[in-house]
Amino acid sequence: MTDDEGVLAGHLQELRRGTVVVAALASLRTPGYGYALLESLARNGFEVDANTLYPLLRRLEKQGLLTAEWNTEESRPRKFYRTSPAGEQVLAALRADWRSLDASISDLA
Amino acid sequence: MGTLTDRYVSATVRELAEDQRDDVDRELRGTIEDMVDARLEAGAAPDRDRAEHDVLVELGDPIRLAAGYSGRPLHLIGPALYPEWRRLVVLLVSVVSPIAAVGTLVVRLFVDDVATDGVGPAFGSAALAGLTTALHAVFWTTLVFAVIERSQPGKGVLGWTPDQLPEAPASRRAVGRTETVGSLVTLLVMVLALVWQQTSSPVRVGGEAVPVLDPALWSGWLPVLLALLLAQGVLVVAVFRARRWTPGSAGVGALLDVATAGLLVWLLQTDRFFDARFVDALVGGGWTNAARDLTVGVTLGVLVVTLWDQVETWRRLRRA
């Protein structure tokens, strides 16, 4: 990797850091479990590390933005997360901010 | 001994609060199985053991994963505290450690029987005291800051105000007050040491004080040495008043340094430096090679200090 690519990769990583939360809150309006969410995010272009996403889900649950319950009907018990009403509010605020950032940057250019 | 997964999960949850452990344990196991199945289905691994191994590598160090769950810091002292930690450590090491070393040296020089043991043990224990104090200062400061980091993450303690800014030299070449005072004090200590070793030497043979340096030097080279030291002092003041080193003053400084070092080394190498009775007392006290050790040691010391002085001055000249 050349230096320029390294610089770009670093800035892209910084830029995307917070977007995982937005993506997770948006996807989990349909309940899902850890690994399924990891795969669906990857399919939609959010390459998240497993060891980042799983702790993040826990933190969002602790903050009350996600609710979680165990599904034991299938052969393998799984913890399903779903965006809570508080999570919906935060998601709406984050999306509004995202759009206003995009508009501000368009104005600058 | 359990499977790799058992060991990984238990290493992770061990780091977590009691009430989190069972839940994370159960979820992490399920997740690892999901990831293993996915790898086998995709044909990314030849067998289950290999897939399990790869998945655990992907999840990474359990301490890091657990820190993600618990929100505990992955550093000893974080960015909020680091500047305060560094300022305090630098202050302690640069102030307390020299005080401990000099204090120990002075006490040992008076308490020890220099005639029998020589000055070696005194300097040795002074260096040790300085080093030990520095180690303690760094260790305890770090420990306290690490505890603070964990009790109130992300917050500073001492704070910072512009008053703490160090004095800025007028330019990068400028010569400041502190280093000028330091140089003058060093020169003064050397002059006093020359007089002191003659008038009230700590070395005694049969109850009589024996000077360290050959008294014959007083009617010859010692006045020259004192004159050179005086000239060094004048130069230090002149450089301070001009606020900077110039090629001219650096040249004069180098000449004075070389003259001083040359005189000292010549006296040492021709055995005219130390008083014979002083060396005899050391040899009699059991330091068989006192003459050679002292000559080599002091010669080396003079050369190192002289060379260092040139490097330092040259560096200051060049940093324009």
Same domain, B238 and B132: no
pLDDT at B164: 75
Q: How far apart are CA A25 and CA B259, in angstroms?
A: 78
The domain boundary, picked from B106, B134, B164, lies at B164
User: Do B33 and A76 lie within an 8 Å CB cutoff?
Assistant: yes
Domain membership of residue A94 (yes or no) is: yes
Residue A83 belongs to domain with CATH number:
1.10.10.10
Domain membership of residue A5 (yes or no) is: no
Host domain of residue A97? 21-108
Q: Does A55 touch chain B (CB under 8 A)?
A: yes
Domain membership of residue B170 (yes or no) is: no
Query: In percent, how much of chain B has pLDDT > 90?
Result: 20
Query: In percent, how much of chain B has pLDDT > 70?
Result: 90
Same domain, B215 and B300: yes
- The yes-or-no verdict on residue B100 having pLDDT over 70 is yes
Place of tokens 């090629």: B247
Same domain, B206 and B270: yes
Same domain, B99 and B193: no
**Residues of chain A contacting B22 with CB distance shorter than 8 Å:** none
Which residue in chain A is spatially nearest to B38 when comparing CA positions?
A: A35
Least confident of B83-87, B176-180, B268-272: B176-180
Mean per-residue pLDDT for B97-110? 80
Host H or E run for residue A78 = strand A78-83
Angstrom CA distances, B298 to A58, B196, B267, B301, stand at: 67, 18, 11, 5
Host H or E run for residue B204 = strand B204-205
Tokens of A85: 């009403």
Domain membership of residue B76 (yes or no) is: no
Same domain, B86 and B39: no
Which residue from B34, B35, B68 is facing A52, i.e. has the nearest CB?
B68
Give how many domains chain A has, as a whole number.
1
Same domain, B259 and B187: yes
- The yes-or-no verdict on residue B171 having pLDDT over 70 is no
A53-77 pLDDT, tens digit each: 999 999 999 999 999 999 888 788 8
User: Do A50 and B59 lie within an 8 Å CB cutoff?
Assistant: yes
pLDDT at B180: 78
Mean pLDDT of chain A: 90
Residues 6 or more apart in contact with residue A37 via CB below 8 angstroms: A24, A27, A28, A53, A57, A81
Which residue from B24, B30, B59 is facing A78, i.e. has the nearest CB?
B30
- The yes-or-no verdict on residue B114 having pLDDT over 70 is no
Q: Report the SS3 class of residue B42.
A: coil
Same domain, B46 and B145: no
pLDDT at B312: 83
Domain membership of residue A8 (yes or no) is: no
Give how many domains chain B has, as a whole number.
3
Shortest Cα distance, chain B CAs vs residue A34, angstroms: 7
The pLDDT-based confidence of B167 (bands split at 50, 70, 90) is low
Short-list B298, B173, B297, B187, CA closest to B233 = B187
Q: Report the SS3 class of residue A74.
A: coil
Domain membership of residue B136 (yes or no) is: yes
pLDDT at B183: 82
Host domain of residue B94? 82-164
pLDDT at B206: 66
Tokens of B184: 């003058």
Same domain, B60 and B107: no
Same domain, B114 and B51: no
Domain membership of residue A81 (yes or no) is: yes
- The yes-or-no verdict on residue B302 having pLDDT over 70 is yes
Same domain, B240 and B122: no
In 10 A of CB B67, how many CB atoms?
Answer: 18
Same domain, B61 and B151: no
User: Do A35 and B71 lie within an 8 Å CB cutoff?
Assistant: no
Which residue in chain A is spatially nearest to B59 when comparing CA positions?
A: A51
pLDDT at B6: 92
User: Do B68 and A50 lie within an 8 Å CB cutoff?
Assistant: no
The domain boundary, picked from B29, B45, B70, lies at B70
Least confident of B94-98, B162-166, B203-207: B203-207
The domain boundary, picked from B46, B70, B94, lies at B70
In the DSSP assignment, the letter for residue B47 is: S
- Check residues B93 and A96 and name the one with the higher pLDDT: A96
**Which residues sit opposite A69 in a β-bridge?**
A80
Same domain, B95 and B62: no
